[in-house]
Structure 1
């Protein structure tokens, strides 16, 4: 069942990774690596490598632009004001840049499917890999119905048809893509990513035109709403403390908006020349964040006042989207529907990405005998169909939106998902921090890494501390007077005890230990990496400039 391209390409051979990840070709892996030496060989046999450079580059952008930006931004502006929301998204944007750089450095050295889950096994503790693996399975089980619920919210803007119709349609479409050849998924995400790029650029330009009075019959807005009602909104408390709490309150929304960027390396072993392709996509994230998110948040803050009652529309439809509000106010009747349609495709694209990430992690867990062997079954074209069917069952959680406000369910799932995303980011940063420490302890120069930036030696520990603080304070409103909510508390913090329980349980069951920095097989990994990098082709200047935004 092995893809012929596997045999022909030196960049996807099973010996292109350390012994801890490779098949039984050189030496047995240490006992505390939990049989992960079996993974790559089986993946080469069962899975197909259908992702190319253009796929992985666009998937990175597809992961960075999701429904959180479109549905969550209005609530952030209302909670923190235009400047508070801008600072909140900028803070999380810098964290995302640190996470992507850390992920790129580790993946360039260890390009394996499962990404930071398997990195954690070798760099930190096999029990952590087990816990984070199931955390990702759990998180993606929730992410998919979150996106489908968002689709229901968006369709309510157009029609009163029962939401169950749209739920079933998009469940079927998502399952079809999940069961298809990986190359088909790559093509779907490629074109949806292009659509997202064109759309967000269109919204930014349209917002500037509206703000500067370029639409006939509308006056120039400028920074009017920054003066009245003001750049900040007080939240819970008053004065400077209240403005700070408002800024901090948008963190969960911002984290959810960026959810998915860490999944770029999940299919590293299913990507040609991953030591170059994955870091290339990771290192461009800063420009993408600055262009697509920060500008979008800035423009929306200029177009819609934070006290606009439409941002708190209780109908729970896309009418409360700040982009729709701004276009409607300018008399552009067709724009709201275009916005709605594009965001629906964005939501479906995000659900496809969550399904790919979740199925690959679950398949990897089954390979290591940490999940039932039935999840190893694949189609003749390499799709892990039992894993897909497992996630399909959880898609029906989106029917919860029929018995309650769809937007209420959406926000429950946002909180649950944001907590899991933060834990994943913490793992990525911890892996990289351990790699840097291990390199120094073993007397290895950091310049020997296939890809390294001096910036990451400082950004990783700083981002790690901030992520931990956000994780434990994201649900702070429930602890203030008169704001207790059992559902909010559970959705904000449920994931933390789940991960700790999984970690402790596997640690006790397998008697694993934290890997000693001196025992991590870095020398062998570095030697293998030297001969396993295909140099990039020299492209014209115009193409390199365009490649800053997409590959």
Structure 2
């Protein structure tokens, strides 16, 4: 796709622009800038992810195990209205983050996504700090999801635990090492399973609620009236306790959405990334609304917030409020179906963590912020050293076979529990910096491959929200008599770790913050003009109604 004087709100401007920037008038600073997309990315990686893959990878990232298993805890913490408002507000933040990511990724479609964007737009030290933070979290995410998969398997059988872990590690490795197109197909299949399950359980929930099950009365919104729309958090009376319950739901909801930011980490392996990545980002609002908000709404109608069964934390389908409602309605097959699909969700999350970790590590190696051995790729364009290294770390899943070792493992995992908020904050900050550079350099936002007039405001709102969530993530430990060391660590330790990593690289390498004139906007626009993407035809007929995957 090249620059142009015809601006398409779906994809951006096209060939023929008469702006002075399209003629290649670069400042002396930007004339010296290296290519935005590195030669190694173009040469060594394979562009095998299609629009269909990217759309469904984004969808798979938006629907995690938290949607199926954690809604009961949210209902118990905040009540039906508190849970609904909490997920709605976090959904709004996620939408703002995704639009910001889409706009910046369309201009800078590089491997490593927002990590590399931080270097291009602000300071290489920020890219180093956030990159290694993401790598650390993603590397531990794989054994964590494999351990979760083992818990789900134990819903049916508790035999051969070590064998199941071994199978999950091997299959995850094979999906990652063979060909990135295989990964895309696997995620497409898993996303379709999730769609079928969530549509099915929402319909099932509505049938149960409206009295469609023989022998059961219509429930309606009775649980919104009794025990009530909100829950007093930790027994704190009055409006303050209800507000804290809502706030606790919002903090927990953040982690249910984790993973949505990973859809552009493999931009250099995506066909027509300047068009396909924004298209995927744009559909986040529909996914959030249809899947999360409707799910929370239906759950709030099916189960009362004071139901004792919500206290159970089995980690498998038996803890799902959908299962509670179905079991009480006499629908016995639902628990196994939900458990099976949640099992695929856990494996999908494991695959996504491996993709994120390996591509961010590859991107760090490109900028000499990681050992150069991680740049080695197979003939099919897979960074195989990164994959092997992360698979080796995945063997930490065997620690789940020992209760003591599992405790230590989760302490390690707690260190980056807040990492998702750090990533969202950086994505928003990158977008703000890009628009500041546009203004400073006198470039209209309509020259961007993809832009919206309102995103600069939503990015500021998302950045402020992420900072507030970070600072209040562990607020419960400061309530008298409620101190918990693990909660404090998971909520706050990641903040000084990222700051220390930033300062270390800044002083070790002597990096400096880029001035707004140095941000390579013109160089990126020149690359777009010199390497145009073929325009993707617009959907026609019934396909125009599809807001979910493409």
With normalisation by structure 1, the TM-score equals 0.90
Q: What is the aligned partner in structure 2 of residue 298 from structure 1?
A: 297
CA distance in 2 between counterparts of 1:86 and 1:349 reads 26
Match of 2:219 among 186, 196, 221: 221
Tell me, yes or no, if the aligned pair for 1:179 and 1:388 is still in contact at 8 Å.
yes
Distance 1:248 1:436, change over 3 A: same
Deviation at 1:418, TM superposition (A): 4.1
Q: What is the aligned partner in structure 1 of residue 10 from structure 2?
A: none
The SS at the match of 1:253 is: helix
CA distance in 2 between counterparts of 1:516 and 1:134 reads 24
Deviates more, 1:145-154 or 1:34-43: 34-43
Distance 1:356 1:503, change over 3 A: same
Q: What is the aligned partner in structure 2 of residue 365 from structure 1?
A: 364
CA distance in 2 between counterparts of 1:470 and 1:212 reads 37
Tell me, yes or no, if the aligned pair for 1:107 and 1:278 is still in contact at 8 Å.
yes
Structure 1 unaligned spans of 5+: 1-25
Q: Deviations over 1:465-514 (max 9, x none)?
A: 01000011111111211111112211222211111111000000111111
Deviation at 1:530, TM superposition (A): 4.5
Q: What is the aligned partner in structure 2 of residue 340 from structure 1?
A: 339
1:390 maps to 2:383 = no
Tell me, yes or no, if the aligned pair for 1:32 and 1:513 is still in contact at 8 Å.
no
Tell me, yes or no, if the aligned pair for 2:139 and 2:393 is still in contact at 8 Å.
yes
Q: What is the aligned partner in structure 1 of residue 149 from structure 2?
A: 151
Distance 1:173 1:303, change over 3 A: same
Tell me, yes or no, if the aligned pair for 1:39 and 1:364 is still in contact at 8 Å.
no
Q: What is the aligned partner in structure 1 of residue 445 from structure 2?
A: 446
Q: Deviations over 1:308-337 (max 9, x none)?
A: 121111555431111211111111011111
Distance 1:410 1:334, change over 3 A: farther
CA distance in 2 between counterparts of 1:510 and 1:27 reads 31
1:73 maps to 2:65 = no
Aligned residues: 525
The SS at the match of 1:519 is: coil
Q: What is the aligned partner in structure 2 of residue 6 from structure 1?
A: none
Tell me, yes or no, if the aligned pair for 1:255 and 1:418 is still in contact at 8 Å.
no
Tell me, yes or no, if the aligned pair for 2:376 and 2:384 is still in contact at 8 Å.
yes
Tell me, yes or no, if the aligned pair for 1:192 and 1:346 is still in contact at 8 Å.
yes
Which residues of 2 match residues 376-415 of structure 1 at below 5 A? 376-404=375-403
Distance 1:440 1:427, change over 3 A: same
Deviates more, 1:180-189 or 1:378-387: 378-387
Q: What is the aligned partner in structure 1 of residue 539 from structure 2?
A: 539
Q: What is the aligned partner in structure 2 of residue 91 from structure 1?
A: 89
Distance 1:27 1:39, change over 3 A: farther
CA distance in 2 between counterparts of 1:30 and 1:68 reads 50
Distance 1:417 1:302, change over 3 A: farther
CA distance in 2 between counterparts of 1:27 and 1:170 reads 53
Which residues of 2 match residues 349-498 of structure 1 at below 5 A? 349-404=348-403, 416=415, 418-498=417-497
The SS at the match of 1:371 is: coil
Q: What is the aligned partner in structure 1 of residue 252 from structure 2?
A: 253
Q: What is the aligned partner in structure 1 of residue 9 from structure 2?
A: none
Q: What is the aligned partner in structure 1 of residue 56 from structure 2?
A: 58
Q: Deviations over 1:15-59 (max 9, x none)?
A: xxxxxxxxxxx9999999999759721122322111111111111
Tell me, yes or no, if the aligned pair for 1:148 and 1:348 is still in contact at 8 Å.
yes
Q: Deviations over 1:418-466 (max 9, x none)?
A: 4111100001000000011111111111122111111202111011101
Q: What is the aligned partner in structure 1 of residue 190 from structure 2?
A: 192
Tell me, yes or no, if the aligned pair for 1:38 and 1:368 is still in contact at 8 Å.
no
Q: What is the aligned partner in structure 1 of residue 140 from structure 2?
A: 142
Deviates more, 1:220-229 or 1:142-151: 142-151
Tell me, yes or no, if the aligned pair for 1:412 and 1:488 is still in contact at 8 Å.
no
CA distance in 1 between counterparts of 2:135 and 2:309 reads 36
Deviation at 1:181, TM superposition (A): 0.5
Which residues of 2 match residues 309-320 of structure 1 at below 5 A? 309-313=308-312, 315-320=314-319
CA distance in 2 between counterparts of 1:45 and 1:535 reads 23
Tell me, yes or no, if the aligned pair for 2:148 and 2:315 is still in contact at 8 Å.
no
Distance 1:31 1:360, change over 3 A: farther
Distance 1:103 1:33, change over 3 A: farther
Tell me, yes or no, if the aligned pair for 1:252 and 1:415 is still in contact at 8 Å.
no
Deviation at 1:393, TM superposition (A): 2.7
The SS at the match of 1:250 is: helix
Deviation at 1:159, TM superposition (A): 2.0
Q: What is the aligned partner in structure 2 of residue 16 from structure 1?
A: none
CA distance in 2 between counterparts of 1:208 and 1:369 reads 54
CA RMSD in angstroms comes to 2.6
Tell me, yes or no, if the aligned pair for 1:223 and 1:302 is still in contact at 8 Å.
yes
Deviates more, 1:306-315 or 1:431-440: 306-315
CA distance in 1 between counterparts of 2:373 and 2:449 reads 37
Tell me, yes or no, if the aligned pair for 2:30 and 2:522 is still in contact at 8 Å.
no
Deviation at 1:303, TM superposition (A): 0.9
Distance 1:325 1:46, change over 3 A: same
CA distance in 2 between counterparts of 1:188 and 1:492 reads 33
Q: Deviations over 1:350-372 (max 9, x none)?
A: 11011111101111112222112
Distance 1:228 1:165, change over 3 A: farther
